[in-house]
Amino acid sequence: MIALMITFIIFSVFILYHINRMTNLLCIQKEIPEERHEKIFRTVNILIVILLSTSYIEILYV
C-alpha cells in the first residue's frame, strides 16, 4: 500500500512537471499575454490534480 502511494506520488510529480512545461511552451508559442498565464496555469493544474486524484482512487478501489 505504501509502495503504491510513493510510486503514484512520484508519477504525479513527473506528470505535473511535464504538463506545466507544455503549458508554458503553449503560452510562449501562442504569445498569450503574461497577465493570463497565472489563470491558465491555475486552471490546468487544478484539472490535472483532479484527474490524478480520481486515478489514484480508481486504482485503490478497483
Task: State the first-to-last Cα distance of the chain, in angstroms, to the nearest integer.
Answer: 14
Closest CA to 19 of 53, 58, 46, 1: 46
pLDDT digits (tens, 9 = 90+) for 1-30: 899 999 999 999 999 999 999 999 999 999
Instruction: Give the cell for residue 56.
Output: 489514484
pLDDT at 6: 95
pLDDT at 37: 96
**d(C-alpha 48, C-alpha 44), whole Å:** 6
pLDDT category at 62 given cuts 50, 70, 90 is confident
Instruction: Give the cell for residue 22.
Output: 507544455
pLDDT at 1: 83
